[in-house]
Amino acid sequence: MKKHLALMAFIMAAAVVSAQEKGRGDHHRDMAEKMKTELSLSDDQYEKIKVIDKSYKAKFHDLRSDSTKTKEVKVKSMHSLSDTRKKEVESVLTEEQRSKWQAQQSARRDEHRAHGQRVANDRAEKIRKDLSLSDAQFEKFQKANAAFRRQAHELKQKQLSDDTRKNEFSKLRKNYDKSIKSIFSKDQYKKWSEMKKDRSHNNGRHMRQEPKGS
């Protein structure tokens, strides 16, 4: 079980970083053009933002290619680069453009969060149906998931070494698993474990088949 949980944690973390890196790459490729259209940038502003984009594309590329850094370090560095880049880009804008751009970015984040919540809800409903959970079981299951997500987020915000973070996350996964085991019947827990195993296998296969440079 411990090995399975560790494998699940690794696959989840790798998938998240892969999605983040790909998403940021797409974002950087169309940023200048998007801002020119949406904010009516002057030619001078457009050229300055293109220069900033080019500089940070190289930095993000170097970071993704750095095999000496762990996934956790890369994620932290990604956030740091994004924050610095955001400040440089916004320094080029007028106050009106900056306010408009920030509002648009906030709306996009809300949309992404709403989409993520819909996906989580759909997944939970599928589990409810597949395992024939009672209303009481499903309510406890949802609470356990919410608690796990909150604790995982809090753990991610702490300044910890990679080894300590992995150990803490392993404990968190173990406690979550115990919580779910106390909610489900023996047969439900067995089926749920098999579902997790199938999903981790499919995620791992997708990562192996993903073409390089995508």
Range of the domain at 199: 2-209
Domain contains 90: yes
| 194 in a structural domain | yes
% of the chain exceeding 70 in pLDDT: 79
Give me the pLDDT at residue 202, please: 57
Per-residue confidence (pLDDT) for residue 210, from 0 to 100: 41
User: Which stretches of the chain drop beneath a pLDDT of 70?
Assistant: 1-29, 200-214
Task: Using alpha carbons, select from 29, 16, 6 the residue that is nearest to residue 75.
Answer: 16
Q: What is the pLDDT, as a whole number, of residue 180?
A: 95
Residues making up the chain, counted from first to last: 214
Quick one: 14 exposed, middle or buried, by C-beta within 10 A (0-12, 13-18, 19+)?
Answer: middle
Residue 7 lies in a domain: yes
Report yes or no on 162 lying in a domain. Answer: yes
Number of domains in the chain: 1
pLDDT digit string, tens, across residues 69-108 = 888 788 889 989 999 999 999 999 999 999 999 999 899 9
Residue 144 lies in a domain: yes
Task: Read off the pLDDT of residues 147-162 as tens digits, 9 standing for 90 and up.
Answer: 998 999 888 888 777 7
Q: Would residue 126 count as lying in a domain?
A: yes
| Helix pair angle (162-183, 135-157), 10° resolution | 170
Query: Is 124 exposed, middle or buried, given 0-12, 13-18 or 19+ CB atoms closer than 10 A?
Result: middle
157 found inside a domain: yes
Determine contact, residues 35/41, Cβ cutoff 8 Å.
yes
What predicted TM-score, i.e. pTM, was given to this entire model?
A: 0.56
In a domain, 214, yes or no: no
Distance CA 116, CA 147 (A): 17
